[in-house]
Each structure stands twice: as C-alpha cells, then as structure tokens.
Amino acid sequence: MRCHNCGVPEGQEHRAGCPVEVCPGCGAQAVGHRCRRAAGLLRVPFLHFPSVCARCGAIDPPWFGVPDVVWTYYVAPFEREEIVCEPCFKTIVRLIDRYRPRPDWLPTKAEIATYRAVWSRFHRSSLRGPQRRRLAAELDALEAAYSPRRSADKTHKSTARRRTSERV
Ligand SMILES: [Zn+2]
Ligand SMILES: [Zn+2]
Ligand SMILES: [Zn+2]
C-alpha cells in the first residue's frame, strides 16, 4: 500500500507538497497550511486507514454521491456521518420504498442518476482548475434544484415532470 499521490510506502513521511499529508495539529490538509496547534509536533507519516461500510463491513468500497436531500431522506439522523457502500444504500432505498410511498418532493431516479454522473466526473482526481470549478458549480445547482425548499409554483411543475420520468 502506497500513497496514491506521492507514492511513499506506509510508515514513511509524504514527499514535500503531497496533498494527502495532514496537519499533525488539526488534521487539515497540510499543504500551504500554517497552524499554531502543529507547533512542536512531528509530521504525520502515510498510513492507510480503510473506510468501512457501517452496514456490511465492506472495506474501501468505491465512493458514490447522491443529493443531500436523498441521503437525509433514506439515512437516519445518527447514521448520516457513517460510510455506506453503494449496494447497501440501494438495499436501504428498496427496503424503505417498500413500506413508505416516495414523497413527491424527492428527486426522481432519473434526477438522482444525473446528479451521480456529475458527481463521479467531479471526483475524478485528475480534474483541476476551471473544469473542476465548473462541475462543482453544476453540483451545487443540482443540490439547490432538488432541495425541497423551492417555491410552491416550481414544486408543482417539477412534480409533474417527476411523475412523467418515474413512469419511463
Ligand atoms: Zn503522499
Ligand atoms: Zn492545522
Ligand atoms: Zn455495505
């Protein structure tokens, strides 16, 4: 196991400027970061701590993104900070949808798929600069559009659209 960015093996300090290195004082990204809490502390060497699905225990499952409103609808308040793998999330959706009708304000499956596609393009680590900022803005716009706090007339329109795409 090596740092995916600078290539050092576990236990060794990152190469200078590696964006994966964290501040020993606060855990923030160390590059270009000055921190009083780090005074006198040693640099943090690279060690891999796997992420684990809180439901099935899968180790380092691939990341995926869904709009916030979808995540908070399906994942209970005290589980929201947990890592959930994609197969488990799909299971959770299926189980809850079986017993509770999907509310009108929830983004459709097509809208969620659109969001996910933009999300995966955004999280490809090779993207930098304006290309990355454009995708970030696109994601923010989708989050805003899918938020249930939209005005009443807009809600009405998107509900109609939602029903149409659900039938497809
Ligand atoms: Zn590194
Ligand atoms: Zn710090
Ligand atoms: Zn899982």
Q: What pLDDT sits at residue 43?
A: 96
| Ligand 1 mean position, distance from CA 29 (Å) | 11
The residue assigned the tokens 């659109």 is 114
Question: Measured between alpha carbons, how far is 96 from 107 in angstroms, rounded to an integer?
Answer: 15
Residue 46: how many other CB atoms lie within 10 Å: 23
Q: What pLDDT sits at residue 37?
A: 93
Q: What are phi and psi of 106, to 5 degrees?
A: -75, 135
Question: Measured between alpha carbons, how far is 162 from 148 in angstroms, rounded to an integer?
Answer: 13
In a domain, 14, yes or no: yes
Same domain as 87, residue 128: yes
In a domain, 61, yes or no: no
Q: What is the pLDDT along the chain (168 residues), one digit of tens a residue?
A: 899 899 999 999 999 999 899 999 999 999 989 899 999 999 999 999 999 999 999 999 998 989 999 999 999 999 988 999 999 999 999 999 999 999 999 999 899 999 999 998 888 766 677 888 888 899 999 999 888 754 444 443 333 333 333 333
In a domain, 105, yes or no: yes
| Ligand 3 mean position, distance from CA 98 (Å) | 19
The residue assigned the tokens 């970061």 is 33
Cβ < 5 A residues, ion ligand 3:
53, 55-56, 58, 85, 88
What is the amino acid identity at position 6?
Answer: C
* Ligand closest to CA 60: 3
* Ligand closest to CA 24: 2
Residue 94: how many other CB atoms lie within 10 Å: 9
Same domain as 84, residue 40: no
Same domain as 72, residue 154: yes
Same domain as 139, residue 110: yes
Distances (CA, A) of 28 to 32, 44, 137: 10, 11, 23
In a domain, 101, yes or no: yes
Residue 107: how many other CB atoms lie within 10 Å: 25
In a domain, 56, yes or no: no
The residue assigned the tokens 């290539």 is 7
For the entire predicted model, the pTM comes to 0.69
* Ligand closest to CA 57: 3
Same domain as 157, residue 83: yes
User: Which range of residues forms the domain containing residue 28?
Assistant: 1-49
Cβ < 5 A residues, ion ligand 1:
3, 5-6, 14, 18, 20
Task: Report DSSP letters for 48-92, one per residue.
Answer: ----B-TTT--BSPPP----HHHHHHHS-GGGTTS---HHHHHHH
In a domain, 114, yes or no: yes
Count: domains in the chain: 2
